[in-house]
Homo-oligomer: A and B are copies of this chain.
């Protein structure tokens, strides 16, 4: 999903497409890394100065409610976001602890485990959270130098 199509999707949902929102979408779309609100805020200062941190928070909330963002739970902050490449599609993340780069994967194959847990515990299961943490090839090179 491109930055432009994210903007169009917002409009289709009845929201205004302001320059601030374009800029924020632009920053998120142009990053392979997961970004916190203040990461996004500081990246904005270069290309689009003057946008308030409040607007970043509000836009993130809007994009998230519209299903256009992914969350990453890695590390300590639970508040780090990423463009959702294919909205609606079930997937998970492999995250680099060095640079924050995120790779998606769709085959989690947790169905059997889920069924067994359901019958063993009496819980009904609604969803799951799965993330792998590691180091991407280029971050590994840096360390070994």
Contact = CB atoms under 8 A, between A and B. Distances in A.
A123 B137 contact: yes
Oligomeric state, in number of copies?
Answer: 2
Contacts of A94: 117, 121, 123, 125
The secondary structure that dominates the A interface is mixed
Interface string A72-96: 0110111000000000000000101
Contacts of A140: 124
B122 A136 contact: yes
Interface string A114-141: 1001100111111111111111110010
B130 A128 contact: yes
A142 interface: no
